[in-house]
Amino acid sequence: MKLSIVLSTQPASFKAIAYQGNLKRNIANIARLGYDGVELAVRDPKLLDFDMLEAALINSELPVPAIGTGQAYGEEGLSLTSRDEGIRSRAIKRVRSHAGLAAQLGAVVIIGLVRGKSEGGRKPQQTLDQLLESLRECARTNPGVKFAIEPINRYETDLVNTVASGLDLVNRLGLENVGLLLDTFHMNIEEPDMLASIRQARERLFHFHVADSNRWYPGAGHIDFKAILEVLNQIGYSGFVSAEILPLPDPATAAEKTIENMRALVA
């Protein structure tokens, strides 16, 4: 199992991120703990000192499996399904710029909250059609980059809550470079049988988030991570398992407990 953890490259109001703040020091800490990679949550690639980031990654020998994009929505309101064409086209432009960064780093682009939600009385089905168009525009212009749509629980968005609806969208798009990111926290809320849902995603599974049922580190709640790792193994998943967790009881303990508990499952 290749294990990574999410680091935000700038301050964010989204809470389930163990690392924020000093980028260089955080990357060094993640490497010191024994992680195999670092997932970056990036609001806007323009705000990044790429040379500094690259040097820190080379120094720590950490690859970047995925780039999170949700802060473009959370901090700036950019949505791939906005009814305001100006906002929607800025969101597409932003995701394309994330894709440029992802191409440089060999990472998957995460389509999480940047999808937005249905606005102004529009039905989810109509909004989904628009999401499809926006995703097509992003993915077609970056055929070498993988895009992973993340089913997110109903309390955060009304668009693509379940693995089945995620697969439906992926199939409708029919592009080789579009697949899914599954997150145990969301699946624990939405999926009747998480293991069966992971099996359904199979070769369309591009990335994987772990957090326990309470969004703390794995082992702090009631999700059966041993069974999950077995299923990932059975379906031949070779990507990263990435911890997107609350920094509780404190960031260092959360990161240490994650690696300790996840490694113990495969020992």
Q: CB 130 → ligand LER: shortest distance, Å? A: 19
For residue 110, the Cα-to-chain-centroid distance in whole angstroms is 5
Span 102-141, contacts to ligand LER by CB under 6 A: 110, 112-113
Nearer to Mn ion, 44 or 150 (CB): 150
Instruction: Compute φ and ψ for 67, nearest 5 degrees.
Output: -120, 125
Least distance to ligand LER from the beta carbon of 140, Å? 23
- 65 lines the binding site for ligand LER (CB under 6 A): no
The only residue of 17, 152, 169, 198 in contact with ligand LER, by rule CB under 6 A: 152
DSSP tag of 19: B
Helix, strand and coil percent figures for the chain, each rounded to 5? 45, 15, 40
Residue from 36, 39, 44, 183 binding ligand LER (CB under 6 A): 183
- Pairing verdict, β 205-210 and 37-41: unpaired
Binding test (CB under 6 A) with ligand LER, winner from 70, 116, 151, 251: 70
Does the CA dihedral 36-42-45-49 come out positive or negative?
Answer: negative
Residue 244 falls in the annotated catalytic set = yes
Q: Which of 43, 115, 146, 209 binds ligand LER (CB under 6 A)?
A: 209
In our burial notation (b when 16+ CB lie closer than 10 A, e otherwise), range 54-92 reads eebbeebebebbbbbbbbbbbeeebbbbbeeeebbebbb
Other beta carbons within 10 Å of 47: 9
Shortest Å distance, C-beta 267 to Mn ion: 26
* 150 tagged catalytic: yes
- Segment near Mn ion (CB under 5 A); pick from 37-45, 88-96, 113-121, 204-212: 204-212
d(CA 40, CA 48): 11
Task: Count residues binding ligand LER (CB under 6 A).
Answer: 11
Q: How many residues bind Mn ion (CB under 5 A)?
A: 3
Q: Which of 150, 156, 230, 260 is flagged as catalytic?
A: 150
Name which of 182, 178, 208, 179 is nearest 197 in CA terms. Answer: 182
By CB under 5 A, is residue 191 in contact with Mn ion? no
Contact footprint for Mn ion (CB under 5 A): 183, 209, 244
Q: Cite the active site residues.
A: 150, 244
